[in-house]
Amino acid sequence: MDLIRDADRAYLQSLQEHADAPQFNWTWTDQLTADGLELVRLYEERLASHPPIWSWGQHPEWVDDFRTACRELVPFFRDRPPGATMSRLDVRDDPDRLIPLGSDLTDMSYHETSGTTGNKVRIYSHPAAGECYLPLLRKALRRSGVDFSPGPERVCLMLVFHHTTTLTYPQVCPVLGGAAFLRLNLHPGHWKDPESRLRYLDFCSPQVYTGTPLSLMELAKFPIKHKPRALVTTSMAMLPATRKELEEHFQCPLIDLYSMAECRCIAARSDNGWFELLAHDLFVEILDPLGNLCAPGEQGEITLTGGRNPFLPLLRYRTGDFAAMEWDQEGRPWLKDIEGRAPVAFVMPDGTRRNNMEVTRTLSDLPLTQFSLHQNADGSLDFRFRGSQELIEPVTQRLTRLLGQPLQVECLQGSLGPKWIAYTTAMD
């Protein structure tokens, strides 16, 4: 059954052939079947009726059956001791052994991702599992009061980049009633002329823009006439001052979406507080290096069990991200102080240490789009950032006071690498 109507194809063609359209470099093909679409709809129904709730030290009822199925059907888990954790290296090295025995591989696809590690990982998936991203995103938008109303002949989502090169294409989404989604590169090298970018953005008038803090800040340079209903970023590293600047510029809420290629959406927030868990089929633990459960409020590694990808079951999967877990008055678990990296301690001249989260909090009200802090082997500190030259003085004053010593501060215009906030040290 063809899920794409003639009217949807005509609208897609209008996006591709518009006079100001960019030079799209990828052709989208729809892989979702009617059965897959029904799976996504059933998932969205369950998403609405089964909130993720459990108490500290306990787990949802489905977890026991999931663990049993993993040990019986997934070769990778058969010889592993109960309670063992897995990591991204396991997914990289043994992707085929993570596919359950007897799986129907007819609709299996894969993509490669390297995150910020530089190590390519092949992620096997199913079209319906990938499309479940959209109900999760819609839930995050509605929780933030955003009236997200996709439908035919409109652009509901636009993912913006500002790279020298990246994949770009338009597509229509049957899950969203035929609404369009675009991957768009704002870099002038992808357009007929620089002015065509603004005209095309206003022609598309997407309801929601999504992208990194850097690409959203680049988007803010365009005097667009339309008003998006929300901005979405998948970077937990965005500082409150940057959030405020973007929300005031676009006059709409900005939603932080904690997501990863292995299982897509995990949690979201629309302010500078805690992250609300979204998915009923994902059990989240916070573990210490030995695999012990951290107490509420204690920082540890975010560890996942479950997920909706039939070709990549996760059983105590260490994400490499760190946070604390807290419970609200209704008994719901939330993630607090997510850091997309292992904690880094900076050594002060008197031998005491400052955690990287203290640095983030110290700079939180400054509009720093991107920055890095590195401690050299001799204890000296180098801070580099993207932003206004006027920020050099307040940054220097705050970090000198926090870290107990002067440091080298440099304002740069180019990219500082793949991470928006990077903490590193050469000290033992």
pTM for the structure as a whole: 0.84
Asked whether residue 24 is domain-assigned, the answer is no
Question: Along the 428 residues of the chain, how does pLDDT read in single tens digits?
Answer: 578 889 999 999 999 999 999 989 998 887 889 999 999 999 999 999 999 999 999 999 999 999 999 999 999 999 899 899 999 899 989 899 999 999 999 888 887 775 544 457 889 999 999 899 999 999 999 999 998 888 999 999 999 988 878 889 999 999 999 999 999 999 898 899 989 999 999 999 999 999 988 789 889 999 999 999 999 997 656 778 889 999 999 999 999 999 988 888 999 999 888 999 999 999 999 999 999 999 999 999 999 999 899 999 999 999 988 999 999 988 899 999 887 666 688 998 998 888 787 888 888 888 887 889 999 999 999 999 988 899 999 999 999 999 999 899 999 877 666 567 888 899 86
Which H helix or E strand runs over 337? Answer: strand 333-339
Nearest to 64 by CA among 257, 315, 256, 329: 315
Instruction: Please give the structure tokens belonging to residue 130.
Output: 């990938």
Cα(236)–Cα(212) distance, integer angstroms: 10
Asked whether residue 397 is domain-assigned, the answer is yes
Helix axes of 133-143 and 34-49: crossing angle, nearest 10 degrees:
30
pLDDT, tens digit (0-9, with 9 covering 90-100), for 163-204? 878 889 999 999 999 999 999 999 898 899 989 999 999 999
Asked whether residue 300 is domain-assigned, the answer is no
User: The domain that contains 380 carries what CATH number?
Assistant: 3.30.300.30
Instruction: Please give the structure tokens belonging to residue 177.
Output: 């009633």
If one counts the domains in the chain, the total is 1
Asked whether residue 372 is domain-assigned, the answer is yes
The pLDDT of residue 1 is 52
Instruction: Please give the structure tokens belonging to residue 242.
Output: 């940057």
- Amino acid identity of residue 22, one-letter, is P
Instruction: Name residue 269's beta-bridge partners.
Output: 256
The pLDDT of residue 4 is 87
Instruction: Please give the structure tokens belonging to residue 380.
Output: 């000296």
Instruction: Name residue 125's beta-bridge partners.
Output: 109
pLDDT, tens digit (0-9, with 9 covering 90-100), for 346-394? 998 998 888 787 888 888 888 887 889 999 999 999 999 988 899 999 9
Asked whether residue 385 is domain-assigned, the answer is yes
Count of C-beta atoms within a 10 Å radius of residue 203: 16
The pLDDT of residue 119 is 55
Asked whether residue 415 is domain-assigned, the answer is yes
Cα(127)–Cα(131) distance, integer angstroms: 6
336 Cβ contact list (under 8 Å, min separation 6): 274, 275, 297, 323, 324, 325, 326
Instruction: Please give the structure tokens belonging to residue 63.
Output: 């977890």
Asked whether residue 23 is domain-assigned, the answer is no
Which domain range does residue 383 map to?
Answer: 345-425
Nearest to 262 by CA among 120, 121, 72, 161: 121
Instruction: Please give the structure tokens belonging to residue 377.
Output: 């082997």
Which H helix or E strand runs over 134? Answer: helix 133-143
Asked whether residue 388 is domain-assigned, the answer is yes
